[in-house]
Amino acid sequence: MRSIGHFIGGKQVKGTSGRTADVFEPMTGEVQAKVALASRAEVRGAVENALAAQPEWGVTNPQRRVRVLMKFLELVARDNEALAEMLAREHGKTIPDARGDILRGVEVVEFALGIPQMMKGEYTEGAGPGIDVYSMRQPLGVVAGITPFNFPAMIPMWKFAPAIACGNAFILKPSERDPGVPMRLAELMLEAGLPPGILNVVNGDKEAVDAILDDRDIKAVGFVGSSSIAQYIYERAAATGKRAQCFGGAKNHAIIMPDADMDQTVDALVGAGYGAAGERCMAVSVAVPVGKTTADRLMEKLVPRVESLKIGPSTDPTADFGPLVTRAALERVKDYVEVGIREGATLAVDGRGFKMQGYENGFYLGGCLFDHVKKDMRIYKEEIFGPVLSVVRAKDFDEALRLPSDHDYGNGVAIFTRDGDAARDFAARVNVGMVGINVPIPVPVAYYTFGGWKRSGFGDLNQYGPDSVRFYTKTKTVTARWPSGVKEGAEFAMPIMN
């Protein structure tokens, strides 16, 4: 059985805490590896390696820094299929979906290649008599990222690529459920020419997380996961003076207007609601048809599509989605389905009885579909994170607009319509951070920025895009004067630029 340790100081090291966690193969239910869980001392060792390496990296020419990322992109392309298979076997998503996970991370690395231009400061000549003012962006030092199981390639790259391009050293604490790909990405960064110690990977659980949050040498931390943990990390990071960008849960709505192309809408809902077994923070989990006729048309087309979804092992290229990540995740989603039934929602499609022939011990669940869900039900208010779609019927546009706007979560929302006025009005008024118009998963391209509102996001700055440069750098402003030799005497009043 494989043993997974940590990546510290440019090499793989064994864990010394004596604690490990099981890494499952979701499609079979078998344990495929043991991953070490770092102690506080091991986290501190990674930080000390980063502290030693960062000063030289921080003053390295920015273009030279991004050349390492250019080489890293070549290596990821070279090893893409091996990375996708490793990811699929640890997470459970299909290999085509795993390729997409990697590609969306690669896009942010590509964006980071342009960071030298974005780190340029400002300059004003003659701001005062003989005085020039200019600013510069400098790295923070050592920063960290705590990333989730559902995107073990994409989100680590979202975090470490901009941070490293800006001149920081990075401590990555990936999910202990699927740590193989993050470890491999660190190896590829080293192969690309990154100095040892600039990217360290510590595997672990809450002990490692708390060690990162309490370490005063770590100047910033980014997190993606559940909202309760996002808030905990945000508050604890602030107690040690860290910058924090923490992204939490979601309940993404799709508003279906009466004029929507229903076939295209159903295609979008099925892909966005059930892809990756619903284990996406941007998955559509609530469909809101406007008007009874629209709702009835939607259900007429949606029920057979959900019933015909093809669930298969991660290695099946024809499967629509694979298993959930762990048995605990599977049981949690099943429990939510039972809650929905008890609350009075109509279970139009029940996937709980699905069994995969030859993979009976895998963590599989068929697609589930609820109708007549009400906004006071737990299955509406809470994030299920599984292949479960809830239909909440709205009587008109204003009610449909209020549902995502009033929800505790505000990650993503979509509207399906052919009416440009309705779409424009919806996009302007809805109280949600990312909006799709006839786009079910509105994850912005890498040169914009990703972030939700309300309990979906804690912190002032979003992930990737221009916000990542602001987050991973600090601005220094210089006011310079070169005396001409004329003695002017002391000034005791507040200096002004006359």
Q: Which residues are known catalytic residues?
A: 281
Q: Tokens 């401590």 identify what position?
A: 171
CB 329 within 8 A of CB 101: no
Amino acid at 217: D
Strand partners, 139: 473
DSSP string for 204-272: -SHHHHHHHHH-TTEEEEEEES-HHHHHHHHHHHHHTT-EEEEE----EEEEE-TTS-HHHHHHHHHHH
How many other C-beta atoms are found inside a 10 Å radius of the C-beta of residue 322? 30
Cα 343 to chain centroid, rounded: 31
Collapse the DSSP code of 416 into the 3-class scheme (helix H, G, I; strand E, B; otherwise coil) and give the result.
Answer: strand
Burial of 3 (0-12, 13-18, 19+ CB in 10 A): exposed
Give the list of residues 6+ apart from residue 19 with CB closer than 8 angstroms, or none: 36, 37, 39
DSSP state of 411: S
Strands 368-371 and 252-256: unpaired
DSSP state of 372: S
